[in-house]
Amino acid sequence: MTITQLKYVLAVAEHQNFTKAAEKTFVTQPTLSMQIQKLEDELDILIFDRGKKPIELTEVGKKLVQQARNIVNESERIQDIVDQQKGYIGGEFKLGVIPTVMPTLLPMFLNNFIKKYPKVKLKIEELHTEAIIERLNDGHLDAAIAATPLENENIKERVLYYEPFVGYIPSNHRLHDQKKIDVTDLDIDDMLLLEDGHCFRDGIINLCKTSRSYEDDHFQLESGSFETLVKLSNEGLGMTLLPYLHTLDIKENEASNLRHFNEPTPAREVSLIYHKSELKMQIIDALRTTIAGIVKGAIAFQNVKIISPVTSSK
């Protein structure tokens, strides 16, 4: 049994296809099939049910894959230990970012990080929180940036920053004439929300629950982006809440519709998260230092007192 054979098994288990697995592991399909067959012969079991399409794991194959993933992760830790001892910060690093953070945070730190750590090959993917957790557990992501706390025993969280919520209130709205707003002013009936699946949406719903009664059928309009929510709000369809960093790029003629909260300000906690196996910690530390330093300057000048972070319902 070899680590390479186990990696081939994991690839087939993921793609449920020998040809695709071979492409992803950069070997020919016959080579991959032969190595898996050798492993099955050695263990005297069938790992895959080849009679089904797509290919499926046998019952013993499912148990073997779980253990194989642990073994492959631990084998990679050896190289990780060597890299850390040498002070080497480089190699491929797969990072997931939730959609409500990606467009504002990425431009702030990415160029700086690439210049400072040119040997790191970042692969960045926009994913919802549920997909991020799944991929961290499967080893398909090295780390991610997400709203926390997640309360997942397999995931470690390191806070990057606390991002205040800001109201976007059009001129025809009942709250527009207020210089600042309170959480108790919020009404889910006239709130425009992100579509289901966004943790920012869940945070707002939980925030509204603290001040008023709430029923699922109260809100009227949902969208997949903050830009659309702002446009809908401009059409008089309601107010919305935006994460603070998103307001930094808002159009000049729309800035007059922004309303900050009276203290303590509701906010979300944004963290760098990673699997408890703690692989590639030198890159994770470099990312955290870079991001936290840049964002701290953008948010700290507000000098506001933050409410305990608003959590999602998921």
- The pLDDT, as a whole number, for residue 75 is 84
Closest CA to 136 of 274, 282, 279: 274
Q: How sure is the predictor about 69, in pLDDT bands with cuts at 50, 70 and 90?
A: confident
pLDDT in tens, 16-43: 999 999 998 999 999 999 999 999 999 9
- The pLDDT, as a whole number, for residue 35 is 95
Q: Dig out the tokens for 293 from the structure.
A: 């330093």
Run of H or E including 281: helix 281-300
Residue 176's alpha-carbon distances to 39, 238, 301, in angstroms, are 68, 11, 25
Mean pLDDT, the chain, rounded, equals 85
Query: CA 2, CA 54: separation in Å to the nearest integer?
Result: 25
What number of other Cβ atoms are within 10 A of residue 298's Cβ? 16
CA terminus-to-terminus distance, the chain? 40
Do 279 and 199 meet the contact criterion of CB atoms below 8 Å apart? no
Taking the CA atoms of 173, 177, 181 and 182 in sequence, report the sign of the dihedral they define. Answer: negative
Run of H or E including 233: helix 226-234
Q: Dig out the tokens for 131 from the structure.
A: 């997909």
Q: How sure is the predictor about 278, in pLDDT bands with cuts at 50, 70 and 90?
A: confident
Do 307 and 265 meet the contact criterion of CB atoms below 8 Å apart? yes
pTM for this entry: 0.76
Q: What mean pLDDT do residues 217-241 have?
A: 75
Query: CA 148, CA 129: separation in Å to the nearest integer?
Result: 10
Run of H or E including 159: strand 155-168
Do 25 and 32 meet the contact criterion of CB atoms below 8 Å apart? yes
Report the length, in residues, of the chain.
Answer: 314
Query: CA 49, CA 101: separation in Å to the nearest integer?
Result: 41
- The proportion of the chain whose per-residue pLDDT surpasses 90, expressed as a percent, equals 53
pLDDT in tens, 252-274: 889 999 999 998 888 889 999 99
Decide the pairing of beta strands 258-261 and 240-243.
Answer: unpaired
Q: Dig out the tokens for 218 from the structure.
A: 């109260």
Query: CA 149, CA 170: separation in Å to the nearest integer?
Result: 32
